[in-house]
Amino acid sequence: MKKKILVVDDNPDIILTIKMGLEELSDKYEVIGASNGNECIEYLNDHKTPDLILLDIMMPGLNGWDTAAEIKKNEGWKEIPLVFLSAKTDSFSKTFGGIVSGDYIAKPFDLEELHQRISSIVE
């Protein structure tokens, strides 16, 4: 069975790059996109829980920090591994992102490295 990865990013090109790249690198993944935190929460309410969430920090509306907080408050979702994927590379964001989530990956990212880090979390 494929591992479901939810990519939450307001840049559709990032979602498409990750979807095409991961699904090409491995047939183990199904990548779904959400363009903001509100869409992420709606997806979680309406669908089967994903195996991993890649979460941008800087998004309009519900940003990545607030989205992560909403996910962690929900009993059914709080165990979903979160990985922040962000261009926000200041030391606070990296440190706090690492505490709040399973990992922190800076944009721009290397697709092969992203694949390896995702594999280590979901396998």
- Whole-number average pLDDT of the chain: 87
How many C-beta neighbours within 10 Å does residue 64 have? 28
- Please, what are the domains in the chain? 3-122 (3.40.50.2300)
Name the pTM for this structure: 0.88
Helices (H), ranges, 1-123 = 12-25, 37-46, 64-73, 91-100, 111-122
pLDDT of amino acid 97:
47
pLDDT of amino acid 85:
85
Low-confidence stretches of the chain (pLDDT beneath 50) = 94, 97
